[in-house]
Amino acid sequence: MLVGSAPDIAELVETALLHFDGGRYRLLAWCIMPNHVHVVVEPSADNPLDGIVHSWKSYTAHQANRALRRNGVFWHRDYFDRYIRDEGHLNRTIDYVENNPVKAGLAFKPAEWRWSSARLR
């Protein structure tokens, strides 16, 4: 569980996402949910998406397992990605990501969810 009983784990994940923002990638939106994470990211030319995701998952899995005093798999092995076709698609995707906690009944407004880019808009 990322959020709920372990807000420090959600903070760890958010910090990892933000760490290379503006360098290896441009982070456009994110939302850390209790059992998954949504990220809208624009990789830089020399940093492929699979390497970025691997870096996030490897670092956060190691740190989270240590904080939780456990071993084993933390993330699912694969991830789902989507090619953004145009500005309208980008805006709809960001809206979907930032409204995820509202849809799940965890917040009344996107900006109320602590582990999301919506609070910074």
For the segment 64-116, what is each residue's pLDDT rounded down to a tens digit?
999 888 999 999 999 999 999 999 999 999 999 999 999 999 999 999 999 99
The structural domains of the chain, with segments of one domain joined by +, span: 7-120
Cα(4)–Cα(92) distance, rounded to whole angstroms?
27
Tell me: the pLDDT tens digits for 11-38? 999 999 999 999 999 999 999 999 999 9
pLDDT for the residue 1: 46
Evaluated on CA atoms 118, 112, 17, 71, the torsion sign reads negative
Which CATH architecture describes the domain 7-120?
A: 2-Layer Sandwich (3.30)
Cα(66)–Cα(54) distance, rounded to whole angstroms?
18
Name which residue leads in pLDDT, 121 or 93.
93
